[in-house]
Amino acid sequence: MKKTLAVLIPAVFAQAVGNVFLSMRMKEVGSSIWFDLLPRAIESPTLWIGTVLLIVSFILFASSLSWADLSFVIPAVSMEVAVNVILANYFLHEVISLTRWAGVLFISLGVILVMRSERYKVVEKREDLRAYGRR
């Protein structure tokens, strides 16, 4: 669980910060015509930093799946939706409606429940080991 979180927390932040960088750069070029959008966007390092962060996030996500349950990783990573909203509000000064803040709250509560379910599993495993040792 500790190892999973040590990988997934940076993954969540890399993803959210990466999206902030992408959004920042795309808003800068925003006014140009569609076929001009990408060639102009890649001129700035901001877009590259954002893209690299997203790739790093994916690598961390995939690595965690080499040992952790998918049914744990998927809801845990959903925290990135909440972090995205918070960072968009803080760095991009986007106005967040009450409905969206409620969504952030729901996601956070859901992630806390999923964390708790993992903790019980660890306890169960330890008890299994203890029972095994007694035999």
Contact positions with another protein (CB under 8 A) in 81-100: 81-82, 85, 97, 99-100
Q: Is 38 in the site for another protein (CB under 8 A)?
A: no
Q: Is residue 27 within 8 Å of residue 44, measured between CB atoms? A: no
Q: How many CB atoms lie within 10 A of CB 30?
A: 9
Residue 32 DSSP one-character state: S
Cβ nearer to another protein, comparing 31 with 66:
66
Between CA 135 and CA 132 the distance in angstroms is: 5
One of 44, 51, 63, 89 touching another protein (CB under 8 A): 63
Residue 33 DSSP one-character state: -
Residues lying near another protein in the complex (CB under 8 A) are found at 62-63, 65-67, 69-72, 74-75, 78, 81-82, 85, 97, 99-100, 102-114, 116-117, 120-121
